[in-house]
């Protein structure tokens, strides 16, 4: 077959044809056949990364659309546009357009800056240069190849790209070759799946055996790949050498997904998916837009205030009479009372949220906390349910091998020395070296024979995907790799020099814990590559060589991992398998492991069952033929391979049960106790088995009831009804543990009733819970108007975190996927206590006070306008000029009102000592209709007192009504702020003084609006002071009595 040189690129299509192509074919995914060394004729998406929300054309329309979707902004837009109509114009245009344009300018600037940052990040990624292999001009039949540097955005399907250590994979690729001596390469996928453990990737065997990368262009190979899919853990494809009639099956181990990073050596890959067809882009689901309860309440109050504005305007028109152009007067009244709905409300709330986020990130007691979403910090103060993952969240995800059960013997950390002695006895064929004291002679460990212990520990040492890796301090010719990358260890147990730092790499910390334990027992993982495993026996100081025939990786469906190895000296072929007891139980004749797994799980340990099967050469060859045929199938590959494996798994021999402990995270029991006292219900959602989850829940003191109740297994509607009736008849304060499958059945048939039962429990644990079920639980609680927080540390927690009202991601051993997806990122679970009880409580209380005060500021001036209009014959004339109205909401009162975000009703230490204070906020009483009506009454009273007081005391000086009422209004606002403050901050005092001095300066400077001679008169000041005292003194008395009454419930709290 002729090959088209890669130097010849297809002609670029016209702009119109490109637009038509992407319009009609953007989301059509097809499988493809790629011939190595030539580009396909089909059109595929460009490899261009674009995370921008806008472009030059769409920026302004989209931002304005998003802003004017809010009722508040649309209302003020209509009011501002109406000022262009001369007949209904109230004052100067800047009175309405000034605040609106300021809000829009701030929003446009923020969106522009954020989108420009996204553009710069995208440009940096798209301009990263990679080495692409292309053919040079042939010379007398010789086809030399060269490498050219191209940006990532110019890569296409069919390109062959060379990647070096530390480089990001720019597109989805098939691994063709690597220069590593082991024939494998490690990649990091933490930005893809959240797991920080390195993943082993294997090149195609038919291309890896080629002498150099140049020979890739000389072979005639055809590669088939499946349709682009979202699943990052599976892949189906085939590679066929047409010139040698050789075929290889391709799966996940042969892939390099976009977004992963080459961790060792050099990798040469073939681009198979680009652009939006890559796994990383397909999994970048846009998270739902989260809106806090406070914003929803403010939106409802805004609508209520609009109705009030219309009613007051209609009432004045009715009193005035429907004479003349009454509809014009109606609109003018609506304009006059538009300050009832303050446009500054959203600005102040947004600034407050930014300030809360800033204070959280600066708190040294929760150092490392990051507020990734600054739109909903108040939700931290209203949490009702907390959904927590177990591994890595409530526990450290640090695995320690604790117990080994052989059926007739149990070993733990107190007698692991006996395991080492039995292994030494078997390896060296010496006499028993164990002590024979009466205590140990009757110990449980003596029931095991040396051969039995050897077989169990050997299985643990061989059945895994762990690779020893060490960094060489002083490089030698023998140990240095081609690229100066990490070296695969010749030993992790003593054969490497002391200056070499040894480590293990695996996709699961459980496997590392098992291999480290075998190292302690005297069987060290000496060498590991694609085809061989070498173990060092410390007692005999010898190396045992095993060739790897097949590896069967762990999957969530099979819940087991297997390996077939052949011992070099004896030629014995053995199939080892380990997995969950529920997966291996049907394959084993011996049943003792089930009871022991239950006991180990009751101790809070993660259990694995180890088994083996010895194969003859003929048995293995038959299996290999059938298994290879199944893996070469493009359709029904999973079913065919599962069928082949089921035959292999017949006749397994049970070897042992292992127990690995996941250490509890620091201060978790104390933190959970504080959160329960604060009225927060904590549910643990974990993928672990029921027994392990129950033991962890007990050790964490997760529930608040008398005892834990285990829900019976349900498989049908009748079972679900029986369970529902049983739980409904139980006490409300019970603690319930249920398996995910049972929960799924119950929710399928009795969703409303079962959720009601769960909400009545004091503590809930869901075991064997999938990521989809975690997200569904959060969605069910949110649908019932509960404020839900979700905490997790792994990629499997991202769906739950994004579904909850507040998602908290923990930077843990499983990577940063949860941390990046969360609204808040913390370093450990114990930080939640201060985050919620201190910062969350303060944010909720401060925002509620700020909102009510800004509404009060608008209502009081609107009340004065209404009194003025009624007194002066229902005139639709503004009480104050536009300059004073703008100054009232900004220069003279903005700083004191906004300084309320610094207020603290109690110290942080008191909030942590008495978590029950948090309960008050979960009910939302700080910003309820009741408090809103109270503040409305206060505004009407004060506005009426100021206006009528000015009319009564200055009866002969009504021409100076502006100076009189405006001065009393400013003083009243400043005094009200002072009455609201619980704990003074020096910035609050400064804000009050600065505002007062600025107003006094205005009185003296702007003589156009104020009569300086009149203001200097003593009669003016004492009368203004009297009006101010009448408007504020009763409120001071009421607040003082209220604080005295409230002191009873705080007598043990306040210092």
**607 close to 658: Cβ distance less than 8 angstroms:** yes
- Of 820, 581, 745, 641, residue with least CA distance to 234: 641
Identify the three-state secondary structure at position 891: coil
| DSSP string of 450-505, one letter each residue | HHHHHHHHHHHHHSS--EEEEE-SS--TTT--TTS--EE-S-SSSSS-TTSEEEEE
- C-alpha angle 504-507-510 in degrees, rounded to nearest 5: 75
The Cα–Cα gap between 195 and 190 comes to 5
Residue 708 in tokens: 């834990």
| Residue 372 DSSP SS3 | coil
Helix (H, G, I), strand (E, B) or coil at 163: strand
Q: How far is CA 494 from the centre of its chain?
A: 41
Start-to-end C-alpha separation, the chain: 88
Q: Mapping DSSP to helix (H, G, I), strand (E, B) and coil, where does residue 45 land?
A: coil
Residue 950: HSE in the Cβ half-sphere, 13 Å Cα cutoff: 24
> Per DSSP, which regions of 372-446 are E strands?
385-388, 395-405, 410-412
The pair phi, psi for residue 582, each rounded to 5°, is: -65, -30
Q: Check if the beta carbon of residue 889 is closer than 8 Å to that of residue 857.
A: yes
DSSP line for 693-756: HHHHHHHHT---SSSEEEPPP--SHHHHHHHHHHHHHS-TT-EEEEEHHHHHHHHHH-HHHHHH
Q: Are 927 and 1034 in contact (CB under 8 A)?
A: no
Radius of gyration of the chain (CA): 37
Q: How many Cβ atoms are within 10 Å of 426's Cβ, its own excluded?
A: 21
With both helix axes pointing from N to C terminus, report the angle between 668-677 and 690-700 in degrees, rounded to the nearest 10. 80
Helix axes 929-953, 1018-1046, angle to 10 degrees: 160
Q: Are 256 and 267 in contact (CB under 8 A)?
A: yes
Tell me, yes or no, if 389 is annotated catalytic. yes
Q: How far is 996 from 1009, CA to CA, in rounded Å?
A: 17
Cα 874 → chain centroid: 57
784: DSSP letter: T
- Give CA separation, 247 vs 3, 110, 252, 306, 628, in Å: 20, 55, 17, 73, 10
Distance, CA of 866 to CA of 189 (rounded, Å): 65
Number of Cβ atoms within 10 Å of the Cβ of 734? 20
Is the Cβ–Cβ distance between 100 and 77 less than 8 Å? Answer: yes
Sheet bearing 653-664, strands edge to edge: 410-412, 395-405, 653-664, 605-615, 573-579, 560-567, 542-552, 532-537, 523-528
Q: Could you say which DSSP state residue 141 is in?
A: T
Q: d(Cα 548, Cα 533) in Å, to the nearest integer?
A: 7
Environment class of 456 (CB within 10 Å of its CB; exposed 0-12, middle 13-18, buried 19+) = buried
Backbone angles phi, psi at 257, to 5 degrees: -80, 145
Q: Catalytic residue among 389, 510, 688, 823, which? A: 389
Catalytic residues: 389
């Amino acid at each position: 077959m002729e090959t088209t040189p890669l130097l010849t690129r297809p002609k670029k299509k016209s702009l119109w044809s490109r637009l038509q192509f992407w319009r009609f074919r953007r989301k059509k995914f097809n499988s493809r056949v790629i011939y190595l060394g030539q580009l396909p004729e089909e059109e595929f998406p460009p490899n261009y990364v674009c995370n921008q929300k806008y472009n030059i054309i769409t920026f302004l329309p989209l931002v304005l659309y998003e802003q004017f979707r809010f009722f508040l902004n649309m209302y003020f837009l209509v009011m501002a546009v109406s000022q262009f109509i001369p007949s209904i114009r109230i004052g100067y245009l800047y009175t309405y357009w000034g605040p609106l344009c300021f809000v829009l300018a701030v929003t446009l600037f923020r969106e522009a800056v954020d989108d420009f940052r996204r553009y710069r990040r995208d440009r940096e990624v798209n301009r990263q240069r990679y080495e692409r292999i292309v053919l040079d001009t042939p010379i007398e039949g010789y086809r030399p190849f060269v490498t050219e540097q191209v940006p990532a955005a110019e890569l296409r399907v069919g390109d062959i790209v060379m990647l070096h250590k530390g480089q990001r994979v720019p597109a989805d690729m098939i691994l063709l070759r690597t220069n590593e001596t082991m024939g494998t390469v490690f990649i990091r996928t933490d930005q893809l799946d959240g797991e920080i453990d390195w993943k082993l990737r294997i090149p195609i065997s038919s291309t890896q055996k080629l002498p150099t990368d140049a020979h890739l262009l000389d072979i005639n190979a055809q590669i088939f790949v499946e349709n682009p899919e979202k699943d990052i853990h599976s892949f189906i494809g085939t590679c066929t050498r047409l010139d040698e009639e050789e075929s290889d099956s391709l799966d996940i181990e042969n892939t390099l997904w976009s977004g992963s990073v080459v961790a060792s050596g050099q990798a040469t890959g073939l681009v198979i998916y680009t652009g939006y067809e890559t796994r990383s882009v397909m999994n970048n689901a846009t998270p739902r837009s989260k809106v806090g309860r406070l914003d929803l309440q403010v939106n409802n109050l805004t609508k209520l205030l609009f109705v009030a504005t219309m009613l007051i305007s209609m009432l004045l028109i009715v009193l005035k009479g429907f004479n003349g152009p009454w509809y014009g007067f109606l609109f003018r009244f609506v304009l006059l009372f538009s300050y009832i709905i303050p446009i500054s409300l959203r600005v102040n709330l947004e600034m407050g949220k930014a300030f809360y986020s800033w204070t959280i990130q600066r708190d040294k007691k929760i150092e490392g906390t990051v507020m990734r979403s600054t739109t909903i910090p108040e939700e931290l103060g209203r949490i009702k349910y907390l959904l927590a993952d177990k591994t890595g969240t409530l526990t450290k995800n640090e695995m320690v091998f604790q117990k080994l059960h052989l059926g007739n013997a149990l070993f733990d950390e107190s007698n692991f020395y006996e395991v080492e002695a039995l292994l030494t006895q078997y390896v060296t064929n010496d006499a028993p070296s164990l002590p024979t004291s009466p205590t140990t002679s009757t110990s449980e460990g003596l029931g095991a024979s040396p051969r039995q212990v050897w077989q169990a520990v050997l299985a643990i040492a061989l059945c895994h995907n762990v690779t020893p890796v060490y960094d060489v301090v002083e490089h030698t010719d023998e140990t240095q790799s081609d690229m100066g990358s990490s070296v695969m260890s010749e030993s992790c147990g003593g054969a490497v020099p002391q200056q070499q730092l040894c480590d293990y790499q695996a996709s699961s910390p459980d496997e590392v814990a098992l291999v480290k334990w075998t190292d302690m027992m005297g069987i060290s993982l000496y060498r590991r590559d694609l085809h061989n495993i070498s173990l060092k026996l410390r007692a005999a100081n010898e190396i045992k060589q095993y060739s790897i025939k097949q590896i069967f990786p762990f999957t969530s469906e099979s819940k087991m991992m297997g390996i077939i190895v052949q011992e070099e000296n004896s030629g014995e072929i053995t199939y080892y398998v380990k997995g969950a007891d529920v997966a291996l139980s049907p394959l084993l004749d011996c049943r003792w492991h089930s009871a022991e797994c239950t006991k180990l799980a009751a101790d809070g340990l993660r259990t694995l069952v180890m088994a083996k099967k010895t194969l003859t050469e003929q048995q293995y060859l038959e299996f290999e033929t059938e298994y290879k045929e199944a893996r070469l199938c493009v359709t029904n590959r999973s079913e065919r391979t599962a069928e082949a494996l089921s035959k292999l798994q017949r006749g397994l021999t049970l070897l042992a049960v292992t127990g690995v402990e996941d250490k509890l995270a620091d201060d978790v029991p104390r933190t959970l106790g504080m959160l329960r006292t604060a009225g927060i219900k904590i549910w643990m959602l974990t993928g672990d088995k029921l027994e392990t989850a129950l033991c962890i829940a007990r050790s964490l003191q997760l529930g608040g009831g008398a005892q834990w109740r285990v829900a019976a297994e349900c498989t049908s509607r009748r079972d679900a009804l029986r369970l529902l009736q049983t739980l409904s008849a139980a006490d409300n304060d019970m603690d319930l543990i249920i398996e995910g499958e049972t929960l799924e059945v119950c929710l399928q048939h009795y969703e409303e009733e079962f959720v009601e039962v769960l909400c009545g429990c004091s503590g809930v644990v869901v075991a064997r819970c999938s990521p989809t079920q975690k997200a569904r639980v959060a969605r069910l609680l949110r649908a019932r108007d509960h404020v839900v927080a979700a905490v997790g540390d792994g990629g499997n927690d991202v769906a739950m975190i994004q579904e909850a009202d507040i998602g908290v991601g923990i930077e843990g051993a499983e990577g940063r996927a949860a941390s990046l997806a969360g609204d808040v990122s913390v370093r450990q679970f114990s930080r939640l206590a201060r985050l919620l009880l201190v910062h969350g409580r303060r944010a909720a209380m401060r925002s509620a006070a700020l909102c009510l005060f800004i509404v009060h500021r608008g209502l009081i001036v609107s009340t004065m306008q209404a009194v003025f209009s009624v007194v002066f014959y229902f005139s639709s004339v503004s009480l104050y000029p536009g300059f004073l109205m703008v100054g009232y909401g900004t220069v003279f009162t903005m700083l004191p009102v906004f300084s309320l975000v610094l207020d603290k009703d109690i110290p942080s230490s008191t909030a942590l000592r008495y978590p029950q204070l948090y309960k008050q906020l979960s009910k939302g009483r700080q910003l309820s209709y009741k408090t809103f009506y109270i503040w409305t009454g206060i505004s009407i009273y004060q506005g009426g007192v100021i206006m009528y007081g000015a009319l009564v005391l200055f009866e002969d000086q009504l021409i100076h009504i502006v100076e009189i009422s405006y001065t009393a209004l400013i003083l009243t606002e400043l005094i009200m702020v002072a009455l609201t403050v619980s704990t003074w901050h020096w910035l609050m005092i400064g804000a009050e003084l600065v505002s007062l001095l600025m107003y006094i300066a205005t009185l003296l400077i702007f003589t156009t609006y104020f009569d300086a001679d009149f203001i200097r008169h003593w009669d003016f000041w004492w009368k203004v002071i009297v009006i101010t005292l009448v408007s504020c003194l009763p409120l001071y008395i009421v607040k003082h009595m209220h604080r005295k009454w409230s002191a009873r419930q705080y007598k043990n709290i306040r210092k």
